[in-house]
């Protein structure tokens, strides 16, 4: 059984945009919120917290896909995903050309 940790990148094989794999990380601020939501000592492995945050990250990926379909580019640092007023903001974007992976670090 694979144990997912909230501190690891959120990634799925189907999360691709034009052959680029998309991953998401949580900022320190969001990780602090996640830690406060957990009642377990190993908060970073709490399945309930991970499922909750994974649902939001899934909305972020859908937002990235729609953004790309509309503008033919990917969102940049500072853009908000899934809701302009309350959505999560892209804090950082790193690109690995060797593995064709783009990792977005999200913040609130």
Residues 6+ apart with CB under 8 A from 87: 60, 63, 80, 81
CA-to-CA distance for 104 and 65, rounded, in angstroms?
13
Tell me the two tokens of residue 87. 């959505």
Tell me the two tokens of residue 3. 């144990």
Give 8-34 pLDDT, tens digit per residue: 999 999 999 999 999 999 999 999 999
- Low-confidence residues in the chain, pLDDT < 70: 1-3
pTM for this prediction: 0.90
């Amino acid at each position: 059984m694979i144990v997912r940790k909230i501190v690891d990148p959120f990634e799925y094989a189907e999360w691709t945009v034009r052959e680029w794999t998309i991953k998401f990380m949580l900022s320190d601020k969001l990780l602090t919120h996640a830690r406060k939501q957990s009642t377990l000592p190993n908060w970073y492995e709490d399945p309930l917290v991970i499922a909750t945050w994974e649902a939001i990250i899934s909305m972020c990926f859908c937002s990235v896909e729609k953004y790309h379909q509309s503008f033919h580019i990917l969102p940049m640092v500072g853009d908000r995903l899934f809701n302009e007023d309350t959505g999560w903001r892209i804090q950082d974007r790193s690109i690995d050309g060797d593995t064709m992976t783009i990792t977005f670090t999200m913040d609130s």
